[in-house]
Structure formats: C-alpha cells, structure tokens
Amino acid sequence: QVHPDLAISSKAMSIMNSFVNDMLERLASEASRLAQYSQRATLSSREVQTAVRLLLPGELGKHAVSEGTKAVTKYTSS
C-alpha cells in the first residue's frame, strides 16, 4: 500500500517510465531470442519466465515470476 500523502515528481515519473520501458524491451528481446533458439514462432509463458529469471537476479526474479503468474491466473479467471 502507498501512503495517501506521498507524491512523485514528474521527473521521477519520467525516470520510472523509462526504466519500465527499458526492462520490458529487454524482456521481450530475451524471450524472442529464447523462442528462436527452440525454433518456435510463438512466445509462451515459458520463454517469458525464463527471460525474467535471466534478467532479474535471485529473489527479485523469483518474486517477479510468482507475481506474474498470479496476475495471469487472476486475468484468465475473470
């Protein structure tokens, strides 16, 4: 939860936006490369999860995969 009195400056928001865009681009590139290695034309959750584990170290990668799986499950069940 975020405290209601907290705010973020437009410069900080711009930095976060650049960071997220960069990470998504790196993840997409790595997942695409993994799919090419296995001669597949379609990305599956396996390539995306592997890309996350390769790009995010240790517990951060494990947590990201867990949260991503939880989000996809919630989306598909609604």
pTM beyond 0.85, yes or no: no
Under the banding of pLDDT at 50, 70 and 90, the label for residue 1 is: confident
For the record, the structure tokens of 57 come out as 């170290």
Listed by start position, the domains of the chain span 10-77
The single residue listed with the structure tokens 């989306």 is 75
Check residue 31 and give its pLDDT: 97
Question: pLDDT digits over 19-58, tens only?
Answer: 999 999 999 999 999 999 999 999 999 999 999 999 999 9
Residue 64 burial (C-beta neighbours within 10 Å; 0-12, 13-18, 19+): middle
In this structure, which topology does domain 10-77 adopt according to CATH? Histone, subunit A (1.10.20)
Tell me which amino acid residue 5 is: D
* Residue 2 predicted with pLDDT over 90: no
Rg of the chain over all Cα atoms, to the nearest angstrom: 15
**H helix runs in 1-78, sequence order:** 10-37, 45-55, 58-77
The single residue listed with the structure tokens 């996350």 is 52
Mean pLDDT of 2-23: 95
